[in-house]
């Protein structure tokens, strides 16, 4: 256990995170060292976490301190003195990376994984997670600019809900946006309603009460990141230097875009581009990872996600040079990417509280195919009758 | 039933239906003698189906569409192991080195270095007194440069394999010193961009001199290579091209081909990952065709095809599905192995679990050397 933690251990941490750590010092001192970096990473970034995350971090620390038996699984994990060491507190990301490397190399990762799963299981069973303001609604538009493929869409999703094959395309995107706007206005709350787009947003988008991230708007930030990656590659600096250089981007002045003037959102955007893999180069990877992170971290009440075509695969150097501004696009490949990503979005939504009341809608943009899951929808069914997105959302909302 | 077994069951049931396979809990008789008619020296070729492929996109019901060659051409001729578990570090170089040594290596995956334990190439060459050109490795990048021999003092480079790094070799053959100058062949530079071909401080980069030595050793004509490079579509296609060249030039008895296109999955683009699997499936069939059409190999070669490991499962909250192999879940640790050759009982499905490090012991049985420091166990089904 990290009995060597003191109040001064957190002197370099941002204010809110430091205050939380100091006020829960005795709880943190009971945390096994193998698990400690996970808690410290959260504390160091606490000031930029979303409100629901902040509540979760505090609850988890309190629970660990009050229920040491939940951490018993970590008892057999051996940690060397180089890691069981107060000097590691200052840089928790590095601490976590080194701990992970050590656990793999000492072949203790399976034991760690079992211990972590046990802790999460006990904690989840004991806690009362935050509930959404109203039942959640997640809407995913896939396949912008893609032709009808020679395979069936939504196959992985099908067993969870209904395929709709005759959805009117006119007004469909507008209906999704209208649902987002209506819910945001009737249930306003910070970071509760989101719109993520891999391209430029739908023309009728109104940002009032809606948190949004559009890939093209991140181009200046992304170019900085790609420039650092390119420099590291050319210098042969290695992945560790690259990691450090990318981590420093969180300390850069915020870019000029109004959409990222919120420090939390800026921090979030940087994390998407530095911690996400492929997010710097492929808009589909960016939207998939952003969807996952928005659901996992912000736990929104409403989420509208729209995929855009990613750049065509080329050599690494060419893709780095093109970055966010690539013009040679691959709509067919992007449709496959987004179809899988829609499935992952559904799985992530199911991990959140109140999932039994949630609604999930995926639509092949400008085509009559859609998928819907929610209360009252027969899993594995197919419905060929004519409908609209507005009608689909209305039907499900009546039963949620 | 644990998760490892569940994955294994899915593969077994599927293959039974697909190829009419019988099940072998453990073959009770040696299967070598029946098929080896001429007593010729045996050869072994290993292909790692990499890097990292899940059941979901290979031997599951949903995945079969992506591996038509493995399924329809190779599986009916194979002995298939449904449950191969990798209990080591799930990084591509360290896992591949573990397969090559038959022992779980524990070094930093991102630093090029020789394995701690002796490799199959060293056992083979030292025990059987084989020349250097009888053991070759074709590997995807700088990290693998030192996989041909270990740090073990009883073995080492003098008993190791020749290691070919196709892209580096191509660059050297064209008179370039830097991979970045290969942009004229963009399809061959589709590296795993998450871990591009970085080598810390350049300290362990295989030198131009070594590359020139290998080029000379391979009898490669730079003009031919340049012409080929313009029509190949991926790094793995280049690797297979060079593998065939080595087979036709030296006909080595032990050949280890590490494929890596699939690892584009780290980019998060599912379509590119699937494309990588389809290509790897096709290249495996090409390699089998090469074996069958080359008299030096036909009827005396055992082919082992095995992913180095899987990838994270869709339902694993700690991962991001197919994209990575970081969680250590059953989906990431469990994979399969296909073996083909004259001494292999065809249409056989082996259900009992083996480990990825057992492959080395299987090769020792086929080639007849003593893997005395291996941790992996002999595979009775391979005699």
Tens digit of each residue's pLDDT (9 = 90 or more) over A235-249 = 766 666 676 677 666
**Can you tell me the distance from the alpha carbon of B21 to that of B349, in angstroms, rounded to the nearest whole number?**
6
* CB B51 within 8 Å of CB B266: no
pLDDT of the residue at B181? 55
Between chains, do B189 and A317 touch, taking CB under 8 Å as contact? yes
Q: Cα torsion at B65, B69, B74, B75 (round to 10°)? A: 0
Q: Measured between CB atoms, which of B104, B270, B317 is closest to A337?
A: B270
pLDDT(A169) > 80: yes
**pLDDT class of B202 with cuts at 50, 70, 90:** very low
Query: Facing residues of A372 across strands?
Result: A162, A361
Estimate to the nearest angstrom the gap between the alpha carbon of A197 and the chain centroid: 14
* CB B220 within 8 Å of CB B102: no
Report the candidate in B15, B98, B52, B4 with the shortest Cα–Cα distance to residue B359.
B98
**Can you tell me the distance from the alpha carbon of B336 to that of B200, in angstroms, rounded to the nearest whole number?**
33
Report the candidate in A326, A325, A324, A330 with the shortest Cα–Cα distance to residue A312.
A330
**pLDDT class of B14 with cuts at 50, 70, 90:** low
pLDDT digits (tens, 9 = 90+) for B156-197: 999 999 999 998 888 887 776 555 556 566 566 555 443 444
Q: Measured between CB atoms, which of B87, B269, B324 is closest to A337?
A: B269
Euclidean distance between the first and the last CA atom of chain A, given in angstroms as a whole number? 46
**Can you tell me the distance from the alpha carbon of B27 to that of B349, in angstroms, rounded to the nearest whole number?**
10
**Can you tell me the distance from the alpha carbon of B69 to that of B255, in angstroms, rounded to the nearest whole number?**
21
Report the candidate in A281, A254, A282 with the shortest Cα–Cα distance to residue A268.
A254
pLDDT digits (tens, 9 = 90+) for A246-267: 766 666 555 555 557 888 999 9
Omega cis (within 30) before B51 = yes
**pLDDT class of A130 with cuts at 50, 70, 90:** confident
The residue in chain A having the minimum alpha-carbon distance to the alpha carbon of residue B111 is A238
Residues across chain B: 383
Between chains, do A284 and B269 touch, taking CB under 8 Å as contact? yes
pLDDT digits (tens, 9 = 90+) for B234-265: 999 999 999 999 999 999 999 999 999 999 99
Q: Is A146 on the interface with B (CB under 8 A)?
A: no
pLDDT of the residue at B180? 52
pLDDT(A17) > 50: yes
Q: Can you tell me which residue has the tokens 């065709």?
A: B289
**Can you tell me the distance from the alpha carbon of A175 to that of A339, in angstroms, rounded to the nearest whole number?**
21
Q: What is the mean pLDDT of chain A?
A: 91
Smallest CA–CA distance, residue A339 to chain B, in Å, is: 9
For A134-258, strand residue ranges (E) read 137-142, 162-164, 193-197, 211-214
Question: Which of B8-12, B342-346, B353-357 is least confident?
Answer: B8-12
pLDDT digits (tens, 9 = 90+) for A28-82: 999 999 999 999 999 999 999 999 999 999 999 999 999 999 999 998 999 999 9
At B85, which helix (H) or strand (E)? strand B78-85
| Largest pairwise CA distance in chain A | 67
Q: Is A288 on the interface with B (CB under 8 A)?
A: yes
Smallest CA–CA distance, residue B50 to chain A, in Å, is: 19
Residue of higher predicted confidence among B78 and A395: B78
pLDDT of the residue at A237? 63
pLDDT(A330) > 90: yes
pLDDT of the residue at B32? 40
Chain A and chain B share a number of CB contacts under 8 A equal to 129
Q: Is A244 on the interface with B (CB under 8 A)?
A: no
- Secondary structure (3-state) at A298: helix
Q: Both tokens of residue A189?
A: 């709350």
Q: What is the mean pLDDT of residues B370-379?
A: 96
pLDDT of the residue at B196? 40
Q: Measured between CB atoms, which of B205, B268, B327 is closest to A277?
A: B268
Report the candidate in A296, A377, A371, A365 with the shortest Cα–Cα distance to residue A331.
A365
pLDDT(B198) > 60: no
Q: What are residue A305's phi and psi, to 5 degrees?
A: -125, 135
Give the pairing of strands A137-142 and A302-306: parallel
Q: Both tokens of residue A394?
A: 């209305």
Residue of higher predicted confidence among B33 and B82: B82
pLDDT of the residue at A264? 93
**pLDDT class of B155 with cuts at 50, 70, 90:** very high
Report the candidate in A95, A123, A100, A122 with the shortest Cα–Cα distance to residue A112.
A100
Between chains, do A155 and B62 touch, taking CB under 8 Å as contact? yes
Q: Cα torsion at B13, B16, B22, B27 (round to 10°)? A: -50
Contacts of B91 in chain A (CB under 8 A): 104
Estimate to the nearest angstrom the gap between the alpha carbon of B220 and the chain centroid: 23
Q: What is the mean pLDDT of residues A136-157?
A: 97
Give the pairing of strands A162-164 and A370-373: antiparallel
Q: Is A6 on the interface with B (CB under 8 A)?
A: no
Residue of higher predicted confidence among A269 and B214: A269
pLDDT of the residue at B185? 63
Q: What percent of chain B has pLDDT over 90?
A: 66
**pLDDT class of B229 with cuts at 50, 70, 90:** confident
């Amino acid at each position: 256990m990290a009995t060597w933690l003191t109040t001064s251990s957190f002197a370099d941490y941002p204010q809110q995170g430091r205050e939380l750590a100091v006020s829960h010092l005795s709880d943190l001192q009971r945390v096994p060292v193998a698990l400690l970096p996970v808690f410290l990473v959260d504390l160091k970034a606490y000031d930029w976490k979303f409100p629901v995350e902040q509540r979760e971090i505090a609850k988890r620390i309190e629970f660990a301190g009050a229920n040491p038996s939940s951490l018993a699984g970590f008892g057999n994990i051996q940690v060397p003195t180089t890691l069981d060491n107060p000097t590691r507190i200052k840089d928790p990301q590095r601490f976590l990376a080194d701990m992970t490397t050590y656990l793999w190399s000492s072949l203790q990762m399976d034991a760690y994984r079992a211990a972590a799963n046990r802790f999460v299981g006990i904690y989840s069973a004991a806690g009362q997670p935050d509930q959404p303001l109203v039942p959640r609604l997640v809407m995913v538009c896939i396949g912008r600019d893609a032709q009808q493929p020679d395979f069936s869409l939504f196959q992985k999703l099908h067993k969870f809900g209904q395929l709709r094959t005759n959805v009117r395309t006119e007004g469909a995107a507008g209906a999704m946006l209208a649902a987002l706007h209506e819910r945001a206005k009737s249930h306003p709350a910070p970071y509760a309603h989101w719109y993520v787009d891999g391209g430029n947003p739908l023309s009728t988008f109104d940002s009032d009460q809606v948190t949004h991230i559009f890939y093209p708007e991140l181009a200046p930030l992304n170019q900085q990141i790609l420039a650092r990656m390119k420099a590291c590659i050319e210098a042969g600096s290695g992945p560790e230097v690259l990691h450090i250089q990318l981590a420093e981007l969180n300390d850069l002045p915020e870019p000029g875009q109004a959409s990222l003037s919120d420090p939390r959102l800026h921090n979030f955007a940087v994390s998407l581009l530095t911690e996400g893999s492929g997010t710097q180069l492929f808009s589909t990877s960016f939207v998939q990872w952003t969807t996952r992170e928005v659901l996992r971290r912000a736990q929104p009440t409403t989420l509208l996600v729209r995929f855009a075509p990613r750049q065509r695969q080329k050599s690494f150097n060419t893709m780095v040079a093109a970055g966010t501004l690539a013009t040679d696009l691959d709509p067919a490949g992007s449709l496959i990417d987004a179809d899988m990503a829609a499935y992952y979005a559904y799985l992530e939504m199911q991990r959140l509280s109140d999932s039994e009341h949630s609604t999930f809608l995926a639509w092949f943009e400008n085509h009559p195919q859609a998928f819907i899951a929610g209360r009252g929808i027969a899993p594995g069914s197919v419905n060929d009758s004519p409908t609209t997105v507005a009608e689909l959302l209305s039907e499900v909302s009546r039963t949620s | 039933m644990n998760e490892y077994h569940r994955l294994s069951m899915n593969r077994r049931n599927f293959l039974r239906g697909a190829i009419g396979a019988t099940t072998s809990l453990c073959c009770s008789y040696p299967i070598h003698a029946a098929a080896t008619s001429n007593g010729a020296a045996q050869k072994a070729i290993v292909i790692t189906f990499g890097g990292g492929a899940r059941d979901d996109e290979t031997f599951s019901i949903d995945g079969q569409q992506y591996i038509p060659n493995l399924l329809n051409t190779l599986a009916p001729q194979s002995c298939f192991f449904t449950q191969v578990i990798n209990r080591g570090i799930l990084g591509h170089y360290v896992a591949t080195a573990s397969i090559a040594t038959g022992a779980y290596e524990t070094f930093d995956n991102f630093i090029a270095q020789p394995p701690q334990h002796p490799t199959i190439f060293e056992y083979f060459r030292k025990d059987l007194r084989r020349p250097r050109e009888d053991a070759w490795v074709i590997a995807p990048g700088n990290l693998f440069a030192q996989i041909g021999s270990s740090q073990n003092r009883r073995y080492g480079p003098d008993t190791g394999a020749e290691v070919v790094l196709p892209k580096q070799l191509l660059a050297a053959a064209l008179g370039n010193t830097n991979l970045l100058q290969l942009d004229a062949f963009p399809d061959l530079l589709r590296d795993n961009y998450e871990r591009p071909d970085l080598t810390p401080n350049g300290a362990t980069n295989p030198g131009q001199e070594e590359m020139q030595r290998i080029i000379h050793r391979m009898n490669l004509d730079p003009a031919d290579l340049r012409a080929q490079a313009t029509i190949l579509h991926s790094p793995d296609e280049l690797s297979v091209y060079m593998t065939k060249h080595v087979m036709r030039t030296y006909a080595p008895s032990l050949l280890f081909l590490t494929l890596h296109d699939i690892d584009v999955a780290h980019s998060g683009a599912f379509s590119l990952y699937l494309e990588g699997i389809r290509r790897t499936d096709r290249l495996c069939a090409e390699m089998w065709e090469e074996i069958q059409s080359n008299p030096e190999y036909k009827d005396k070669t055992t082919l082992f095809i095995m992913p180095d490991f899987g990838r994270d499962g869709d339902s694993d909250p700690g991962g991001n599905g197919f994209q990575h192999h970081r969680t250590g879940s059953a989906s990431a640790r469990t994979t399969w192995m296909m073996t083909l050759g004259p001494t292999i009982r065809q249409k056989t499905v082996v259900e009992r679990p083996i480990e990825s490090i057992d492959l080395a012991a299987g090769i020792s049985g086929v080639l007849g050397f003593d893997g005395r420091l291996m941790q992996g166990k002999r595979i009775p089904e391979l005699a």
